[in-house]
Structure 1
Amino acid sequence: MNNDHRRRTTPAFLALGCVGAFVSSPALALDKLADTAADTADALADQQADAGQIIVNGRYNQDIISPKATAPLINTPRSVAIVSENVIKDTGSATLVEALRTVPGITFGAAEGGNPIGDRPFIRGFDSQGSTYVDGVRDTSAQSREVFAVEQIQVVRGSDSSLGGRGSAGGSLNIITKLPRDRDFAAMDLSYGTADYKRITADINYKLSDSIGFRVAGLWHDQDVAGRDAIWQRRWGVAPSLTLGMNSPTQLTLSWYHLDTDELPDSGIPYTYVCSTTVCNAPTGFTYSEPAVGDVTLANGTKGHVDRDTFYGLKDRDFRKSKTDQFTIRAQHDFGGVTLRNTTRYSHNDQSYIYTQPDDSLGNVYNNGLVWRRANSRYGYVDTLTNQTDLFGKFSTGGIEHSFAAGVEFSWEKARRGYYVTRGLVNSSNGNEALTTGGTLAAGQRCSTTAQARFNCTSLFNPNPNDPWVNYSSESSAVAAAISKTLPIAETQTDADTQSAYLFDSITLTPWLIANLGLRFDSFKSSVLPGQPIAATSSFRLGREDNIWNWQAGLVAKPTPNSSVYASYSTSATPPNSLVGEGQDANGFGTVNNASIVEALKVERTKSYEVGAKADLFDSHLSLNIALFQTETKNARVTGPDNSVQFIGQRRTRGLELGFNGEILPKWSVFGGYTYMDAKIVDGGYTALTAPAVTGQAAQTVLVPSVNTGRQFPQTAKHSFSLWTNVELLPKFNIGGGAFYMSRVFGGYADNRTATQDSAGVVTINPATRIIARSVPSYWRFDARASYEFSDRIGLSINVQNLTDKVYFAQAYTNHYATLAPGRSAFATLSVKY
């Protein structure tokens, strides 16, 4: 399956059509944005204004656009970070992951067999993969999101189920899209740079009449990945929208978003050491098992070098394709102080891939310098239909002002997935290979002579992505077999229905005291039709329903009109199967045909406590915020002392967040912050060990405390810092840059404890002599930018990312491997606007 031809066949005609429309359009005036109003209704109306102004009162625009935002940011009793369109543009970000690197405290996890490829943000230490929203509507399915049609990204920290529903233990993301505005403008950016970087984006807004506006954003993107061998990314997208009734109380907006991606996915670098009850090649004591990059010395003394561009994947096998379509109808009416809005959205996402996971669960990397090219695969789709009604506005009761938001939500989700049939694999934790192969490869044969000859295993130091890999019928056969999708009986289908109601109220008790309250009810019903082995003749369905209440409460004191001090409390709830198969669901149903087990599952609950202060200084030219927080879960799903599922696990995050945004001196702006997190697994439950059978005694299972207990959260950095700054040195000439720091991030932990028994059946636990922490080291990354405006219509900018060509890792997975970040890259962007 050679993928080289896909580099030239990306269907970009719609995106290029947007560019054509831009070129052929008449000269249009691009007005600058007026200051965004403070209250919610004005903030929503400002979507019809031009938010393209880089600085608002000296600040990157950070006002909340959401019908659920009952107060301006300074009066909101929780930590909220907003990445504006211009921060995205200035930093040269092209994806959601790239844009969120400007927000400290967010890390990203990698994909694996049971976790599909897609954005996997961790906020305050908790996986928020299923807590991403687009214009306030949940965006189900694993995706790699673009930013060409994004107005701003809102990061709401803390337990957030009262706002968004299920999940959101550490926080959530809300992506605000570009919609028509009450003015004519057109803008286009053309970028070209190193690593064959090519990108074109266009954004055109046209007033068809005083009451009708049309807007379309388009994208075409083509690049290799700096510092990485063989990897490439291609995508195109288009996002048209039409608003009827602009400047009137009643409006109707129709929009469509489409993104088509095609890429060779990055297989990352394997960790050096492994440790289990059967093999542990780490040194005695506690050891960091880091990715094997740079100079590596093997167990037998052999020395070699793993370059940063080393790629263990296979061009003839690996690929990834995805498509996203979102159709939205939004109708609203302003009754004068109160607005009623209804949003209906249908979304369809599908993706398919085979990507190499450089596996080392048997110690091949350190023991003999070999890497097993485990093929993880997936194909499937997710369909979602959501109808959400919001009522928001202001009213007074006896001199007390209320800014409220209320609503109901109904959604239907269906996800179906399968796997590709590739031979010569081994059973994995999610069982997909067992479902899709006629025979599996024994663990000891992963890097056998035959496996190496057939390129299923390769050299740690010198892999060749051009190896002529062939999918044989079996490891013992010389007959080639086509890669095909599994039979329908082996596909897994998940269905979910949600019915929700919510109410928020920001109550101004006095000019200096505000109470903030919120309550939400969710009825979440889900079911799973697990995939069965190919030889199976029947299947079964598992399901349950959970009725969940969540709430939040906060108190805001106003020492001055431009400052606030607050305290807040909020909850979140993660019901079983909340990710509908589109993420790493630690609280999933499983695959056992036992309804009683599913019914015994519980909703995991999280609480967040937060105190903080905010201030707008220097005539609102500089905003500062600080927050102290604690987020805790006391009923996480873990293995209990009797080897059954129990909800006794405990996780706790304590931390400090600092944020800044604005001008520290005239014409010198800054955006960023610092986060400290003490994220601890207080109780990780138990781990089962097997005492092998001896004469007269059958094998026994014993439970020991989990190696995770007392350790730092995986995928969480204790310290993180981000700074983006811009200085106007001369009229029309600006220089800027970024500094980003991330401390050590852990993927997972393991030790070599074992259990034995004697002929009398007395079990002995052999304590751990070796413990590994799979992790990636800390790093600093620096970016730079310079720009010059030749006129009001034409500008040129140059971005250099990873200025020092730092070798660092952007993702750490629990097992097997970590993902290398791109090396140094530079690109120039010509911006034209009318």
Structure 2
Amino acid sequence: MPTTTSRSIAQGASTLAIGCIGLFSAFPAMAQDQQGQQQGQQQGRGGEGQNLGGVTVTDTAVDEGTYKVERLSSPKATAPLVDTPKSITVISRQVLDDTNATSLSEALRTIPGITMGAGEGGNPLGDRPFIRGTDSSNSIYLDGVRDLAATARETFDIDSIEVTKGSDSVTNGSGNGGGSINMVSKTPQTKRFANVDGSLGNADYKRVTVDINQPINDFVGVRIAGMYHDQGYAGRDAAWVKRWGIAPSIKFGLNGPTSLELDWYHLHSTELPDQGIPYLYTIANQPSANYQTAPAGTNLRPRNAFYGLVDRDFRTINTDALTARFEHNFESGLKLRNTARYNNTTQEYLWTQPDDSKGNVGTYGTVGRRALSRYAYQTGYVDQLDLSGQFNTGALRHSFAAAAEYSWQKSGFGSFYADANGTSLPLSISCPTPTSGTNYNCTSLASPNYNDPYVGSIVRGAPNSMTLADSSTASASLFDTISIGEKWKLNLGGRYDHYVTNASAGITTAATGLSLAQTWATTNRTWVSRTDDIFTYQAGLMYKPVQNGTFYISTGSAAVPPGSFLAQGSEDNSLTGTNSVNGGAISANDLKVQKTTSYEVGTKWELFDGNLLLTLDGFQTRTTNARTTDPTTGGVLFVGTKRIRGVELGFNGNITPKWNIFGGYVYQPSRVTDAGLTKTVTGANTAYAVAAAQGKPFPNTPQSSATLFTNYKVTSKFTLGGGAIYMGKVYGGFSDTRQANANGTVTILTSRATYVPDYWRFDANASYKVNEHLSLRVNALNITNKLYYDQAYTTHYAHQAAGRTVIGTLSLKY
């Protein structure tokens, strides 16, 4: 598999290079065509065109210093950000460039309060952001359309990233309990420009991006973005990633009131995944009754220790998306827009998780090579119709947006096996010595050899072994910002969703007298179906004492119906889980929708002539109907509740024309207020007590976090900047051992929390503009070479971040 994947990477890079050479050949004609054109305003996304040697280009954010974005891209956003009663942060293209954020996960590190959750088998590898304590992997959107698949996302075709915090189902549908993420893609513009960036760095870092915009005439324009990326990871042996992507688009009606835009996006990625570092102790062998265990430290193993197998481990992703967007602006000021998108994503991987489950790490200094695997697909279609505009009713001024949407999605995933008969790859391996087990399934904590040979087979499971799911949604929504005089605004929104989902668990157990392979071939599937009708809302009241300032109070709701992750994420309320009571299946319609309500009070101010946005808010988000286990029957209960409260400070924009800043601070203590009960049996004694998570903080939710990124233009050519990230202690999970007493009480014998410690990370960057066409930039990421962990899994392992990475970028602009 790695050989085939490497060949496809090479072919993709060649295709991209040939396409770019063809476009470069048009540059002289582009320049000649633009002789004498005057400076003008770029349509769509900020920035002014400049005439540079006869070629009109759009100044990038590096030149203009644009960190502040005025409003969201969606027509559902009926007011500028300063007049929107929600906590919203927009990562502009400038911030992406200055921080060298080439993936979604790297971009989100610039926003405090967001952590990235770790994956394994049940939690597939991919972008898994946690916002205000909630897994938001099913709340990621591209141009306002859901991008559900568990995958790793790039930024080469992204113009900005919009992050909304708080319950947000009213905007885009199911999910969004803690917030949502919308990526805004690049589109054809009215001004000609071409940007080419080439980067080199340590750890074999290589990257090339191309962004070419060419109006054919006043009616038709085209744009193409391309990328090739190849890197290792500083301080992490063996792991690497290679990817390439291309995103052409064409727009008809470039300057008119009516337009049709057609886009295609393709991304191919292959890598040797970094499996991370095992935790030091299990609950069975921890040195004290109450213990918090971090990953095994460098006093026990080298910083660059890699526990995977180069001969076995791999990950491959393919993503394709086709989009058609029609838009018409009426003379009355109304805007009608229809977006249709078809997307398909496939992912397959087999990777080694360093296994602490048998107590090998803390007792023997050995690590089990737990093989986790998945092959999966997700495909879907969505059509979204928006109508937006303004009107008056007496003294009230309305800015409204109405939307109707239909979507369907289907997905499936299965596992790899050691042979066609369904023999499992190694899991939960006991390793008293590094040589125990077969086929190098065990290795040393202190000196693992990732070149140990793997001589087994890797076989996809049969179709009947796959878990399948599909859903369809029909929805309608209405938003209105009502201006009451000059000082008061009322923001209202409501959404109705008719959600239908179906799921079928894969067959994983052999029937009596049959092998697993025979069972796969002869057993029929069982499907479970469910329908939900959901209403969500938002409401906010704003007071503007002056034009550049707003005080507000708001509330909003979110709803996560059972099965909404479509087998693509860590779903705690799936249709295919253990939905049974005393061994008997219960109806899917007895499951409940998980509900979240958010409250927020805050203020927003535009300072320094509107160039800097400063925000401050206090919030509470409370989730009910969280799924728990009935301790008496082993069935399903919906009594779980959790709550997070906090305060957030945000800032982005320019303090002076030469000095910009971006970042914020979040303090968000969280608490599981009801985790349900667990049943404990000790001999003849049975007792019930609250679950281990009761009263504990949320996993993947630091109490405090902060970011600050800044740039200062020292001269007209030289810019110097840097960044700081603080992340508080992050818990992976909680567990305990118990004893039931004769009087019906439970005694906690031992308790354990997995966590990764808090850390500070510092970055630096500098750029020099050689002339109007050529500039240089250097980024030093994690400049102090800090050893830290950026993902914490419940058990087994935590992900170690890359060490110091220095990248030089040469930019060519026409």
Contact kept in structure 1, 2:160 and 2:184, CA below 8 Å = yes
Counterpart position of 1:178 = 186
Counterpart position of 1:508 = 483
Read off the aligned partner of 1:605 and give its amino acid letter.
K
Contact kept in structure 1, 2:42 and 2:189, CA below 8 Å = no
One of 254, 279, 286 as aligned partner of 1:246 = 254
Cα distance change, pair 622–439 in 1 and its aligned pair in 2 (3 A)? closer
Counterpart position of 1:17 = 18
Contact kept in structure 2, 1:359 and 1:372, CA below 8 Å = yes
One of 459, 464, 467 as aligned partner of 1:489 = 464
**Secondary structure of residue in 1 paired with 2:18:** helix
**Secondary structure of residue in 2 paired with 1:306:** coil
The answer to whether 1:197 aligns with 2:205 is yes
Aligned equivalents of 2:39 and 2:528: distance in 1?
53
Between 286-295 and 177-186, report the one with greater CA deviation.
286-295
The answer to whether 1:518 aligns with 2:500 is no
Cα distance change, pair 106–35 in 1 and its aligned pair in 2 (3 A)? farther
With normalisation by structure 1, the TM-score equals 0.90
Counterpart position of 1:683 = 674
One of 401, 414, 419 as aligned partner of 1:418 = 414
Residue 485 (structure 1) shift: 0.7
Residue 132 (structure 1) shift: 0.3
Aligned equivalents of 1:419 and 1:159: distance in 2?
34
Counterpart position of 2:512 = none
Alignment of 1:686-701 (within 5 A): 686-692=677-683
The answer to whether 1:575 aligns with 2:561 is yes
**Deviation per residue, 1:665-719 (Å, 9 max, x gap):** 4512111111110111111112233435xxxx6xx76432111011111001111
> Could you list the runs of 5+ residues in structure 1 that have no partner in the other structure?
296-304, 424-434, 472-481, 757-761
**Secondary structure of residue in 1 paired with 2:275:** coil
Aligned equivalents of 1:442 and 1:257: distance in 2?
37
Aligned equivalents of 1:816 and 1:381: distance in 2?
26
Between 447-456 and 766-775, report the one with greater CA deviation.
447-456
The answer to whether 1:795 aligns with 2:775 is yes
The answer to whether 1:714 aligns with 2:705 is no
Read off the aligned partner of 1:240 and give its amino acid letter.
P
**Deviation per residue, 1:18-49 (Å, 9 max, x gap):** 43245323255799998899xxxx87999999
Aligned equivalents of 1:541 and 1:381: distance in 2?
18
Alignment of 1:467-486 (within 5 A): 467-471=452-456, 482-486=457-461
The answer to whether 1:269 aligns with 2:277 is yes
One of 284, 287, 290 as aligned partner of 1:283 = 287
Residue 647 (structure 1) shift: 1.1
One of 221, 225, 233 as aligned partner of 2:229 = 221
Read off the aligned partner of 1:716 and give its amino acid letter.
T
Contact kept in structure 2, 1:180 and 1:241, CA below 8 Å = yes
Counterpart position of 1:458 = 443
The answer to whether 1:742 aligns with 2:737 is no
Read off the aligned partner of 1:155 and give its amino acid letter.
V
Residue 283 (structure 1) shift: 2.6
Residue 469 (structure 1) shift: 1.8
Aligned equivalents of 1:32 and 1:267: distance in 2?
54
Contact kept in structure 2, 1:88 and 1:99, CA below 8 Å = yes
Aligned equivalents of 1:463 and 1:456: distance in 2?
11
Cα distance change, pair 449–26 in 1 and its aligned pair in 2 (3 A)? closer
Contact kept in structure 2, 1:32 and 1:52, CA below 8 Å = no
Aligned equivalents of 2:366 and 2:605: distance in 1?
56
**Secondary structure of residue in 1 paired with 2:280:** coil
**Deviation per residue, 1:158-177 (Å, 9 max, x gap):** 00000010010000000000
Cα distance change, pair 198–442 in 1 and its aligned pair in 2 (3 A)? closer
One of 775, 778, 796 as aligned partner of 1:816 = 796
Residue 445 (structure 1) shift: 4.6
Aligned equivalents of 1:142 and 1:32: distance in 2?
46
Cα distance change, pair 323–799 in 1 and its aligned pair in 2 (3 A)? same
Contact kept in structure 1, 2:739 and 2:749, CA below 8 Å = no
The answer to whether 1:374 aligns with 2:375 is no
**Secondary structure of residue in 1 paired with 2:118:** coil
Read off the aligned partner of 1:180 and give its amino acid letter.
P
Residue 92 (structure 1) shift: 0.8
Residue 90 (structure 1) shift: 0.7
Aligned equivalents of 1:117 and 1:797: distance in 2?
32
> Could you list the runs of 5+ residues in structure 2 that have no partner in the other structure?
50-55, 509-515
Residue 570 (structure 1) shift: 0.1
Contact kept in structure 1, 2:409 and 2:470, CA below 8 Å = yes
The answer to whether 1:405 aligns with 2:395 is no
Cα distance change, pair 444–388 in 1 and its aligned pair in 2 (3 A)? closer
**Secondary structure of residue in 2 paired with 1:714:** coil
**Secondary structure of residue in 2 paired with 1:15:** helix
Counterpart position of 1:308 = 303
Read off the aligned partner of 1:347 and give its amino acid letter.
N
Aligned equivalents of 1:32 and 1:120: distance in 2?
46
Cα distance change, pair 34–501 in 1 and its aligned pair in 2 (3 A)? farther
One of 59, 66, 70 as aligned partner of 2:74 = 66
Between 176-185 and 359-368, report the one with greater CA deviation.
359-368
Aligned equivalents of 1:711 and 1:132: distance in 2?
27
CA RMSD of aligned residues (A): 2.6
Cα distance change, pair 732–354 in 1 and its aligned pair in 2 (3 A)? same
Aligned equivalents of 1:372 and 1:541: distance in 2?
36
Residue 638 (structure 1) shift: 1.2
Cα distance change, pair 181–283 in 1 and its aligned pair in 2 (3 A)? same
Aligned equivalents of 1:45 and 1:86: distance in 2?
11
Counterpart position of 2:297 = 293
Contact kept in structure 2, 1:748 and 1:815, CA below 8 Å = yes
Cα distance change, pair 332–590 in 1 and its aligned pair in 2 (3 A)? same
Between 328-337 and 198-207, report the one with greater CA deviation.
328-337
Counterpart position of 2:359 = 363
Read off the aligned partner of 2:335 and give its amino acid letter.
T
Cα distance change, pair 73–343 in 1 and its aligned pair in 2 (3 A)? same
**Deviation per residue, 1:241-300 (Å, 9 max, x gap):** 00001111110000000000000011100111111xxxx2113243221000211xxxxx
Contact kept in structure 1, 2:686 and 2:744, CA below 8 Å = no
Aligned equivalents of 1:792 and 1:597: distance in 2?
67
Cα distance change, pair 20–36 in 1 and its aligned pair in 2 (3 A)? closer
Cα distance change, pair 463–444 in 1 and its aligned pair in 2 (3 A)? closer
Counterpart position of 1:599 = 589
Counterpart position of 1:475 = none
Counterpart position of 2:504 = 529
Aligned equivalents of 2:502 and 2:576: distance in 1?
11
Aligned equivalents of 2:149 and 2:39: distance in 1?
35
**Deviation per residue, 1:41-96 (Å, 9 max, x gap):** x8799999958345779644453211111000000001100000110011111100
Counterpart position of 2:321 = 326
Aligned equivalents of 1:629 and 1:442: distance in 2?
42
One of 510, 514, 525 as aligned partner of 1:539 = 525
Q: Could you tell me the percent identity over the aligned residues? A: 44
Read off the aligned partner of 2:328 and give its amino acid letter.
H
Cα distance change, pair 62–309 in 1 and its aligned pair in 2 (3 A)? farther
The answer to whether 1:317 aligns with 2:312 is yes
Aligned equivalents of 2:797 and 2:68: distance in 1?
37
Aligned equivalents of 1:142 and 1:59: distance in 2?
29
Aligned equivalents of 2:593 and 2:38: distance in 1?
48
One of 610, 619, 628 as aligned partner of 1:620 = 610
**Secondary structure of residue in 2 paired with 1:454:** coil
Alignment of 1:719-730 (within 5 A): 719-730=704-715
Contact kept in structure 2, 1:803 and 1:824, CA below 8 Å = yes
Aligned equivalents of 2:390 and 2:58: distance in 1?
25
**Secondary structure of residue in 2 paired with 1:6:** helix
Number of matched pairs: 785
Cα distance change, pair 677–33 in 1 and its aligned pair in 2 (3 A)? farther
Contact kept in structure 1, 2:641 and 2:673, CA below 8 Å = yes
